[in-house]
Structure 1
Amino acid sequence: MHIQLQQVVPIPLRDRFAQRQSDIWNAHVTFAEGEWIKIKAPSGTGKTTLIHILYKLRSDYEGAVLWGNENLKGIQPASLAQLRQQSVSIIFQDLRLFDHLTARENIELNRVLQQPFYESNKIDEMAELLNVQYILDQRAGLCSYGEQQRIAIIRALVQPFTWLLMDEPFSHLDKANTARATSLIAAECATRKAGFILTDLDEDDHFNYSKHLQL
């Protein structure tokens, strides 16, 4: 499934981007199925807004966003739910874990939303790869932010997807843990022939990107 952005501009940022050059805002952009896309986005340019628009958490924009042939502004709730459960996964910048649930329970909620893509033992396997197996049965609210970030990554990877949206997914990880996380994400995306869109502040060499864009 390809993604198209047709002259999309967030209404709250419209005046700021009227005269500013961007590869995304107010442009015609197509992301082909399976592409690994890096969007460099300095602070204040709307990287979280973009991710939220793509996931249909926000609709306050001009232009059109199409997933395949489906315009997000007119998508029906049942179709949106199916899109999120089967085709699109997301790693939020603010993580959005349930603090009162354990790390395992947070992941498990995503795993069983639909016909499970993985068996439950895959949680333990991924947790060991990211060095967070020891906190799986601890309440998420008691984990460090870096631990929570790795739990959020696992949560996104246990469900089906053809596209993975990532908003500064490694911001609280050190170099070693970032390497573990990128290796796992790359392996999962390669296995599924899935694409991803990653926004971050700086250049990096975490992945073999198909495309580099400036927000």
Structure 2
Amino acid sequence: MDQITFSSVVPQVFSAQVARLNTDIWNAETVFQKGKLYLLEADSGKGKSTFCSYVLGYRHDYSGQILFDTRPAEEMKIRDWTDIRKRHISLLFQELRLFPELTALENVQIKNRLTEFKSRQDIVRWFEQLGIADKLDAPVRFMSFGQQQRVAMMRALAQPFDFIVVDEPISHLDDNNSRVMSDILMSEARAQGAGIIATSIGKRMELPYDKVLRL
């Protein structure tokens, strides 16, 4: 997949205020290209997480059109979305969606067993880099939110992708851990020639963005 296009997309919740929308995404023509880095800046309630859900096909409550290369999202079947989520687009959810009863390692491996993308050694190395190697076998319910963010990022990276969407990825991290996580993300994206779409309502990942867009 080489590009994702948002063409005159307007969430239903904003349909009554189209004329007042001041955004680079909604009711606009925006193309995200593979290999490029994008930052979506937004105030709370402007549709940041809605955008992420649209890209992954979890929601379809909008007018306009979303294209994957030249294929419209409305033509996608369940098997197509499954393939997209497994091979082409990865998402780090703002709310993380980890399994609290599983250990940190198990939460990463649950995806990696589906994709067989990384070795156990690769994953353990991420834990070491992110300063939570001592949490490998700890249930995530006993970890802080910032520690859980790092686990969720590793899980998002345990698959091939053309684009990775990271929704508020460092909201609970200190500067050092934010930098390490940004470095790991950039390394993985570059290795795959992938694009990054990061969102922020304040604290942002320090990446060499090609374009900053306003929601």
The two structures share one fold, judged by TM-score above 0.5: yes
Residue 205 of structure 1 deviates from its aligned partner by 6.3
* CA-to-aligned-CA distance 1:79-122 (integer Å, 9 cap, x gap): 111111011111000000001111111100111213x1211211
Greater per-residue helix proportion: 2
SS in 2 for 1:141: helix
Quick one: which amino acid aligns to residue 44 of structure 1? G
2:80 maps to 1:89: no
* Residue number in structure 1 paired with 2:25: 24
Quick one: which amino acid aligns to residue 11 of structure 2? P
SS in 1 for 2:146: helix
Unaligned runs of 5+ in 2: none
* Partners of 1:40 and 1:203 within 8 A in 2: no
Separation in structure 2 between the aligned mates of residue 101 and residue 18 of structure 1, nearest angstrom: 47
Separation in structure 1 between the aligned mates of residue 103 and residue 18 of structure 2, nearest angstrom: 42
Quick one: which amino acid aligns to residue 93 of structure 2? F
Separation in structure 1 between the aligned mates of residue 146 and residue 78 of structure 2, nearest angstrom: 33
* Partners of 1:110 and 1:155 within 8 A in 2: yes
* Residue number in structure 2 paired with 1:14: 15
Separation in structure 2 between the aligned mates of residue 7 and residue 62 of structure 1, nearest angstrom: 7
| Paired residue total | 214
* Residue number in structure 1 paired with 2:37: 36
* CA-to-aligned-CA distance 1:42-90 (integer Å, 9 cap, x gap): 1111101111111111110111111112222220111111111011111
2:89 maps to 1:71: no
Quick one: which amino acid aligns to residue 57 of structure 2? K
Calculate the TM-score normalised by the size of structure 1.
0.96
Unaligned runs of 5+ in 1: none
2:143 maps to 1:161: no
* Residue number in structure 1 paired with 2:48: 47
* Residue number in structure 2 paired with 1:210: 210
Q: What is the Cα-based RMSD across aligned positions, in Å?
A: 1.2
Calculate the TM-score normalised by the size of structure 2.
0.96
Change (3 A) 1:168 1:203: closer
Separation in structure 2 between the aligned mates of residue 210 and residue 59 of structure 1, nearest angstrom: 28
